[in-house]
Amino acid sequence: MGVRIAWRVLPVARATCAAAEAFYFCDAVYLKPPEPRRRSAQSSQKRYGQWASGNVDVDPQFRDAAKGDFRLKAASPCVDAGRALTATRSAGRGTRVQVADALFFTAGYRLIAPDVIRVGRHRVKIVSIDYDAHTISLADDISWQARAPVSLDYTGKAPDIGAFELE
């Protein structure tokens, strides 16, 4: 059985399951009727279509899942298979960019390092986030197009699907 991989997950599911784009369907005892233990990506997408789309059901080829090493092997089908988490709302230039959904990112709250993100082709560090206005303040002045992809920083051609980027 492979891990159910979802390219788009609600921020709540992301925080709860501790993986950015990899979604392992967790037991949800509070749901009525209760969830079946072996739900396929397709059946999850059908039941929860408003939360997940573009799913694939493959073996992600973790390095050593039995020992808790969920980094991807180089030959994993999840390498460079992800997509942006959100997009810019309009074209612009400056240090403040409005996105469709800012909940995927953090400024660190002086507890951890702020996220480094990609806005279009630019790699920039987050300074602060206004979650109500979905506006991200950046450390550098950049320009972007309308609907430019916005994702966590990645190496390669595209984000990897999973909690970790291939090293």
Task: Give the count of beta carbons closer than 10 Å to the beta carbon of residue 103.
Answer: 16
**Is 16 a residue whose pLDDT tops 90?**
no
**Of the ranges 12-21, 69-78, 100-109, 126-135, which one carries the lowest mean pLDDT score?**
12-21
Mean pLDDT on 75-81: 93
Quick one: how far is CA 95 from the chain centroid? 22
Six token digits for residue 15: 């925080």
**pTM, whole model, 2 decimals?**
0.70
**pLDDT above 70 coverage of the chain, percent:** 72
> Beta strand pairing status for 116-119 and 56-58?
unpaired
**The pair of three-digit structure tokens given for residue 82, joined into one six-digit string:** 């992800």
